[in-house]
A and B are shown apart, each in its own frame.
Chain A
């Protein structure tokens, strides 16, 4: 299984809602990532988990809360988002964080905040 899955594919939420994005991989990878991508821009790193511990937080607002319950699963909890948070949210995994480890990406969740 060389796939990273993400649910839901699309999400529309109001600014007062609480929702969660889910990411799963069964490749035995020990590094997982959340990216935010606006239209026609490259992905921007948000968080890195290495061996289920948060190792990088790129100064992301606290309305985004990551969670890594186990080595296969990564969640992103959303609360009180702003319209400017509307974007494609991509999850990725890699076997580790060595220089040569490519990332495998999921299909993304297209988030719209009203």
Chain B
């Protein structure tokens, strides 16, 4: 099925560990985004990539890095996880006509 695929769906990390969240889209979209969702705060933009080879910071980039590996894939890396990064992470891609398509999310807990 066409869409945005995120892996893993669930993850528990210890403080200080690192991990990479993977995102892939098969809709040939140029723009891709990483958001985090926290209760009462809606979704906040972490990083985005307007096109292959470019990345830019969003509202809450501290503690994260991203890689736009190719047009399909946009990964989010936590180099040294902190409890404040416990959240649900969503990847999205953008089609100019149809709008944004979101993945099903990654629920991350940092203990």
A and B interact physically? no
Q: Please list the residues of chain A having a beta carbon within 8 angstroms of any beta carbon in chain B.
A: none
Q: Please list the residues of chain B having a beta carbon within 8 angstroms of any beta carbon in chain A.
A: none
